[in-house]
Amino acid sequence: MNDTVRVRIAPAPSGSIHVGNARSALYNWLFARQHGGVFVLRVEDTDQKRVTDEAYAAVLEDLRWLGLQWDEGPGAGGDFGPYRQSERLGHYESAARDLIARGHAYPCYCTQEELAERRKLAQAAKRPPGYDGHCRSLTDEECAAYEAEGRAPAIRFRVPDDATVAFDDVVRGTVPTRTEQIPDFVILRSDGSPTYMLAATVDDIAMDITHIIRGEDLLPATPRQLLMREAMGITEVPVFGHLPLLISPDGRPLSKRWGDVAVDAYRRQGFLPEAMVNYLVLLGWSYDDRTNVFSVDELIEKFSLQRVGKNPATFDVNKLEWLNGHYIRSKSAGDLAEELVPFCVAAGIPADTDEGRATLRAVAPLVVERLKRLSEAPPMVRFLFEEVTPDERAAKVLEDQRDYLVEVAQALERLEKWTSVAIEEALRALAAGRGLKPKQAFQPIRAAVTGTLVSPPLFESLELLGKKRTLARLSAASK
């Protein structure tokens, strides 16, 4: 082990990543960047029957979108590859063989049915439900007999009796475990494939991982992996840090029953990666008693595992939305327009043209402070792209406004300069002449021109729409 920090994120490629895994990835990435270390992406696809190319691509895409570029892994190269476990099967087999040879592992011929049956019995008798050591000391003859029956063995790790495994966790302190608590566990399935326990241990050693930062659900896996390292003769031990779990607003584990758990879903709803990163980092970590907004550079500088809390955090979209609004507002008109293109297209607005982009660039300053999610933009800008039909509330406001709208049209018709300033001047003068309050004067115009009662600022909107289209809509609404 050298002194370069090497961390890894090891997702199972079962589709767009879970926000909890995204947070783990983020913490690892920040830690690596902060220490000038290496961030490794390792794909754990050993047992995934459902793994598909699309699901695999989705994982990579999510990480890229979040800006968590990996230094080693699929597509990035590295000296410790390959980085997909399905391509490393030989390593696990030989590691298992080696453990057997040295007496640290043994074949277990129990079928899953037998195991389940005995587990049920044990639980009924209030005994621990873990593996009972049935095949722990079979003779060669007994093994041969099972083989003759056609049974294929799984390989189990022989957990030492009467010992304590302890490690220092950066977030939880010292965690001791008695080996009685750890039943002999399977490291190689009967079909020859490795379990997570073996694969992760072998790869963390082979890839020279120095810090393992992962979810608290894997806390109990740590003493097992430590035991295996020891059995393999590895004396160096990585630093561990187990992060508190993320839960949903109902207090249950974060799951689809409650809402969106996949990064991809938030992306499609119009959340910016900057907001997602900022929000995720706050779920379980804080810098001080007042700072909430952090740029990525600030996070790289200020993040620390020591300040990660121990209590589970609820994923609450409110704060995510607030941060998203903040980051949207920080965008330039050009950048925001570009971000809005796909959302407009998805809403059926043909913004994916030079002209469309130009229009979006022009309205961007008008909508920028009104958005919490990019997906909220299409309804606000639609009137610039297509003819409008007043919605219910707008239609109501337009009742009995024919004469007024005709006057408005006449006033605007006379304008020589079609600027928001000139428009405002003319409309205010008209309102004053008629003794109308601003709201009374402008809402009917808004309704006629945008088809809705909520829109970007009126005068600027009219300027963008252009004189011709504005007059046409006023005329249409006064018929």
HSE-up of 414 (CA within 13 Å, CB side)?
9
Instruction: Provide the H-helix boundaries in 67-109.
Output: 89-101
Closest approach, Cβ 94 to RNA, in A, equals 18
- 28-36, 67-75, 320-328, 398-406 -> range binding RNA (CB under 7 A): 320-328
Residues 6 or more apart whose CB falls under 8 angstroms from that of 424 comprise 459
Q: Does 438 bind RNA (CB under 7 A)?
A: yes
Contacts with RNA, 15-54, as mask; x by CB under 7 A: -----------------------------x-xxx------
Residue selected from 117, 142, 168, 316 as contacting RNA according to rule CB under 7 A: 316
Closest approach, Cβ 439 to RNA, in A, equals 4
Q: Count Cβ atoms below 10 Å from residue 416 Cβ, excluding itself.
A: 5
- 225-233, 302-310, 340-348, 401-409 -> range binding RNA (CB under 7 A): 302-310
Q: Does 252 bind RNA (CB under 7 A)?
A: yes
- 95-103, 345-353, 400-408, 448-456 -> range binding RNA (CB under 7 A): 448-456
Q: Does 106 bind RNA (CB under 7 A)?
A: no
Strands 211-215 and 239-243: parallel
Residue selected from 55, 218, 436, 476 as contacting RNA according to rule CB under 7 A: 218
- C-alpha distances in angstroms, 317 versus 177, 248, 260, 277, 321? 37, 10, 10, 13, 6
- 90-98, 341-349, 382-390, 451-459 -> range binding RNA (CB under 7 A): 451-459
Residue selected from 133, 183, 342, 379 as contacting RNA according to rule CB under 7 A: 183
Among residue numbers 142 through 181, which ones bind RNA (CB under 7 A)? Answer: 154, 172, 175, 177, 181
Using CB under 7 A, count the residues that bind RNA: 84
The yes-or-no answer on residue 256 being catalytic is yes
- The C-alpha angle 8, 12, 17, rounded to 5 degrees, equals 85
Among residue numbers 350 through 379, which ones bind RNA (CB under 7 A)? Answer: 369-370
Nearer Cβ to RNA, position 146 or 352? 146
Strands 38-41 and 164-169: unpaired
- The C-alpha angle 171, 176, 177, rounded to 5 degrees, equals 125
Dist CA 65 CA 17 (whole Å)? 11
CA dihedral 201, 202, 206, 211 (to 10 degrees): 0
- 262-270, 319-327, 339-347, 398-406 -> range binding RNA (CB under 7 A): 319-327
Among residue numbers 66 through 105, which ones bind RNA (CB under 7 A)? Answer: none
- DSSP code string of 356-398: HHHHHHHHHHHHGGG-SSGGGHHHHHGGGTS-----HHHHHHH
Q: Does 120 bind RNA (CB under 7 A)?
A: no
No. of helices (H) and no. of strands (E), the chain: 20, 11
Nearest CA among 140, 139, 134 for reference residue 154: 134
Q: Does 422 bind RNA (CB under 7 A)?
A: no
Residue selected from 81, 134, 457, 467 as contacting RNA according to rule CB under 7 A: 457
Residue selected from 131, 294, 303, 383 as contacting RNA according to rule CB under 7 A: 131
CA dihedral 337, 339, 342, 347 (to 10 degrees): -70
Q: Does 259 bind RNA (CB under 7 A)?
A: no
What's the alpha-carbon Rg for the chain, to the nearest Å? Answer: 31
Name the active-site residue from 120, 256, 310, 396.
Answer: 256
Q: Does 282 bind RNA (CB under 7 A)?
A: yes
Residue selected from 79, 297, 417, 439 as contacting RNA according to rule CB under 7 A: 439
Nearer Cβ to RNA, position 36 or 465? 465
Q: Does 383 bind RNA (CB under 7 A)?
A: no
Instruction: Provide the H-helix boundaries in 1-135.
Output: 19-34, 53-66, 89-101, 112-124
Q: Does 311 bind RNA (CB under 7 A)?
A: yes
| Encoded tokens for 59 | 């994982």
Q: Does 444 bind RNA (CB under 7 A)?
A: no
Report the catalytic residues. 256
